[in-house]
Each structure stands twice: as C-alpha cells, then as structure tokens.
Structure 1
Amino acid sequence: MQTAKLSNGIELAYEIHGDRDHPVVFPILSITDNITDWPPGLYAPLVEDGFCVVRHELRDSGFSTKFDDFGPADLAAAQASLQAGTLPDSPYTLHEVAEDCHLLMALGIDRACIVGYSYGGAVAQLLALRAPARIAGLMCLQGSNYDPSLPPRQPSVNAAMTNATRECATTEQAIETIAALRLAANGSIHRMDEAEARQSAETSVGRMYCPNGTGRMVLSRMATPAFADQTSAIECPTLVLHADEDPIFSVEHGEDIARRLPNASLRVLEGVGHNHPVSLQPTIASAIRDFADETLRER
C-alpha cells in the first residue's frame, strides 16, 4: 500500500496493479468499502489482459484521511433537515469526494476508464462533469444519481445499513455486521452464502473497519445538492451495469442514469443484488475489460 497527499490536503491510500504505462482502469468504491472489497477476481483478469488497475480508498475509509474531528454523523437529524427543506451540515459532499480523484493527476495518469460502484457511481458521474478530458469511459456499476424521485432502498436492508454506521465493541461484532450487510444485499442467482459473506467480511474488517467514516459518507450524500439534471452534459462513452434485484438501488436507478446520459448504454444483470459474490466476479470483470478495451485502446 502507498499513500498520496493531494493538493487539497487529503491523503489517499492506493495500490497499483499492472504496468503503469498500460491503459488505466480506476475503480471508485462505495461506503463501508476499503480496497479489499475490490478483490482480485475483479481486477486480476484486467491486469492479465494488459491493463493497469489503480485501487484506492476514499476519504473516511481504509487508511485514507478520516474526518473524526466532525464526530459521528447524526443521520436522523440529517434526515429531519432534508424533510424541512435544508441540506444538513457535513464535513464534505460528493463534490469534494470527486475532487479527490485528482489522485489520477498525482500519479501522472492522463486518462482512465472510471468504474464507479454504488456510492462511487455518483462520485464517478460528478468526476466526469468536473474533469471530462481525463475520462476515457465511465462505467456505473449498481449506482445511482440520487434523484429524489427514484425508489428508496428496500426495508429488508435498512437494519443492516444502519448497523454498518455504528461502532462495534469487538472485532467479531464488526465481522458479523459486515457479513449481515453482504447477505442482505444478495440476489436470487448470484448470492453469497454465509461462509462467503463471513470470509469477505473478515478480509474487509481485517484491513480496517470505519463505521463512523461510513456514517459520514452517508451524510455526504445527504448534504449534496441534487445533480441528476446536470448529468446530461456527460458526453463520454458510458456503460450502466445494473442489477435487476438490487435492494439498495433498484433497476430504476440504473435506467435513469442511462436515460440522462447521451452516450450511455444499459445492461441489466439477472438474479443479482448489490454485492459481488465470487460467482458474479467473472461477469463483472469481463464487462469492465470489454468496455475498457473499447474506450482506452486505440483501434
């Protein structure tokens, strides 16, 4: 693992896989995630095919800069503010998270294929608006533009999502919390069983567990002014890869992204939820590889 200090003072932890002179794929991950949550099954096939993959940890996650001085996010108060028509206070918004993707410049990378997963999908759209010259292609994976008219997450995942923002007394409790979130995000065909969910959680928690950071990342989304109407200005080639059984961002979220972006196509994965079980990883890696090949490599 390495760290880079950006011009805005934020330090981001990252790892580079493959030759830095090769075309770059840049995943942007979600809340609760650190780089272990983008496992070898999602990046090793790309490296084998001649791509460079840069995994990194967003602010307030992993070994990147934390905003602990702000304290834990009061998400109930934030929701009350929104209902009253006021954006809640937050140490940052999605716009600042997108600005952190200046990590590309810090690493001397001129252009990349951006793959934004979940929360990272919204960050990726804002990055494409801020720095279009650096985006060869945009892939939104199980993501959203957070348009308020879109369906909310399913009640079945609410408890697991809330628990992921709370401190745990022991490492075992943290593992159980993340494993429960993995299981709650399952689809009907590609799904984690309890053993796979626990192994994934052990790996993630073993690196770093940051529930307060997760809460602040949720808050950052709530504090971001609506931006979906701006995304029609994103002109780069875009692939929206969504899941038909996603309990957090229903398929309407993916459809809305694809409808708004002029050069977007939509592919819907059947029997898939909001996680990446081992059985699904080859499909996602192949989709990323094909899209990156189209957008990054000269013909």
Structure 2
Amino acid sequence: MKDWWQATFPKGRQNLIISDIQGYPVQISYGEKGRGKPLILLHGMGSWSYNWRHSIAALSKHFRVICFDAKGFGYSEKALSRREHNGHQIIEFQRIIQALCDEPAIIVAESLGGLVALALAQESPQLIGQLIVVNVPVFTKQLPHWGMSLLAQIPREVIETIDSLRLAYLFAPLLREIMAIERRRVLFDPSILTKEDVYWITYPFIEFPGTIAKVAEELQIAAREIENWQVNKPNMLTQIQNNLSAIKCPTLVLWGDQDSWFPVSHGEKLHQHIPNSKFQILSNCYHDASTGAFEELNAAILEFLRDTKF
C-alpha cells in the first residue's frame, strides 16, 4: 500500500525537532500542502494526521495547510523514557507554530486538540489569527469511552510491557477489528470507514512500539484533570474554562448534532463564553466530524475564513 504521507503531501513526511516542556529535543512528523496563510490541523486523542485526510486537499487550495502528529502520536517521537508533564501539549504546539510559521496561523482543532488550541489562544494570542474548534472536551465530567477509562486505570508498566512484547503487532488483525468497530460508533454513517482507513488509523499502534503506552499516559493525565476538577483541586481544565473570555481572535465553534461524547449544549456554552465567536451545528454528525461530516466541516471552515479577517 502506498505511503500515505507521500501520496498526500508534495514533500511527503517531514520532520521537525522542537524542545518539549522539559527541554528535551523531540522529533515531530508533519506534512504541508498549498500556499498562502498557514492553516494548521490539530488532531484529537489517539489520532494522527490521517484523521484530516478529507480536509487537506480541499483547504490547501486556499491556504498553506500544515498537518502534524503531536508528540507520542502517529509518526512523532514517543519519548518513552520520560513521564509527561501536564500541559506539555500546549508548550509543544506553541513551539511547532513558532518553528513553521512566520505569521499568526489559522488553527483548526478537533476534540482534545481543540482543548489544547483554546489554552494556547489564551496564553499566546499573538500566534493565532483565527481559531476553529470542533467537538471539544472543555466541559466534560468524565472520559467519554469505556476503553479510555480502562487504559487510564492500567499501570503504565503493564502497558509498556505489552508494547515491548509487540503484542499489538502479533494480534494486528484483532486490534484492527476492535478499533474499526469503535471508530464506526462515532460516525453517523459507519459504512464510510474503508479497509484502507482502518489500516492507516491503526498503523501507528501496530507498527510503532510505545504508541499505546503514550496514549494511555495521556489518558491518565486527562483522568487526573477531570478528577481534580470535580473535587475543586487546582487543574488546567478549570483554568481554561475560567479564561475563555480572554480569547480575542475570531473563533468558530463547530459541533456534531449527534455527538454522544460531548453534547451540543457544551458547544453552545463554549460559544457563549468566547466573545468574538460563532457557533454552528454540523448535521448528521457524531463525534468524529473530520471523517463523518468532512464536506460540511470543510465548507463551514472556508465560509468562516472568508467572512472573517485578521
């Protein structure tokens, strides 16, 4: 099967070295296509750049589209020897923008990526010109899926052992089937997920040791954040919620009308807390909007960017 990066981006997969929150160098994989203002696509938990496969060509007709895998995901470095610090994604995203863009970027971010983008818009507003967030877990009270809760509870040492033994590789057909079932559950029309999609969605988990361990670690961080929020202990989730009014850039909040993970009411609430924002519902859309409602999603993004200037 032809390499997805080579088939999608003129220069294929490129690598960037940034410093993480602890000052260590880390390799980030990315691709870019098109010319014009930089538009960065940021994926959610457990995903990688492939999740934006239906948006890259459409948006690159108008912008310089940059798609990257966050640290620990996809083709980017896993840094297994180090424990992650809460908030590391925000610092790393900041440094990726600074390395790749010489002007404020347009950010399109889905799910957990949207939460990272909201935090960055608060902390480093000079880096973001326009912001589009989709189905963001900003007001969630729990991890939305049983599999996430399970991974968050398993000791990291156990997950690392599974990775080191390459069990995901040994049981690849089973893993692909399980992940395909779960991904179809967040799509309004499950039949649109092809065998090729399943192959690439699961590829990092099967081929790159450490992927499962890093996803589990991120879920553990998220679970602690939610727990601290519920008992009023200091946490970044509350900080992001309390500072939403500080986001000044033009912002579009998009939400799937049938998102069972994070209800539409969360999107309406988010819109109400961001002064310069618009809110739009995506019809016939579950949680995975970039796959399940990409035509409406792309149209909404382009219309918003055409109507708002910075």
TM above 0.5: yes
Q: Determine the C-alpha separation between the residues in 2 that align with 1:231 and 1:140.
A: 13
Structure 1 moving runs of 4+ over 6 Å = 163-166
Instruction: Choose the corresponding residue for 2:47, options 33, 55, 63.
Output: 33
What aligned pairs does 1:69-148 form with structure 2 within 5 A after superposition? 69=81, 91-93=84-86, 95-101=87-93, 102-146=95-139, 148=141
Correspondent of 1:158 among 142, 146, 168: 146
Asked if the contact 2:130–2:250 (Cα under 8 Å) also holds between the matched residues in 1, the reply is: yes
Runs of 5+ in structure 1 lacking a partner? 71-89
The alignment partner of 1:284 has SS state of helix
Are the equivalent residues in 2 in contact too, given 1:122–1:146 (CA < 8 A)? no
Give CA deviations for 1:235-294 in whole Å, capped at 9, x if unaligned. Answer: 111110001211211112212211211111111122210124766211111112222334
Post-superposition offset of 1:132: 0.4
Deviation at 1:199, TM superposition (A): 3.3
Q: Is the 8 A contact 1:12 1:65 kept in 2?
A: yes
* CA contact 1:129–1:231 (8 Å) conserved in 2: yes
For 1:233 and 1:286, the matched residues in 2 are separated by 27
Deviations 1:155-182 (A, max 9, x none): xx42487479976342212211321221
Deviations 1:77-114 (A, max 9, x none): xxxxxxxxxxxxx6222x22011122111123321111
Structure 1's 141 and 192: CA in aligned 2 closer, same or farther, altered over 3 A? same
- Map of 2:231 onto structure 1: none
**Cα displacement (A) at 1:211:** 2.0
What is the deviation of 1:223? 4.1
Q: Which residue of 1 aligns with 2:203?
A: 206
Shift of 1:146: 3.7
What is the count of residue pairs matched by the alignment? 264
- Cα gap change, 1:66/1:153 in structure 2, threshold over 3 Å: closer, same or farther? closer
Match of 1:192 in 2: 190
Matched, 1:4 2:16: yes
Letter in 2 for 1:31: M
SS at the partner of 2:243? helix
- In structure 2, the partner of 1:183 is 184
Q: Is the 8 A contact 1:29 1:116 kept in 2?
A: yes
Is the 1:153–1:250 Cα contact (8 Å) retained in structure 2?
no
Unaligned residue ranges in structure 2 (runs of 5+):
1-12, 163-167, 226-234
> C-alpha distance in 2, partners of 1:136/1:177?
39
Find the aligned partners of 1:31 and 1:163 in 2 and give their Cα distance.
13
Alignment partners' CA distance in 2, 1:279 and 1:273: 7
Percent of matched pairs sharing the same residue: 21
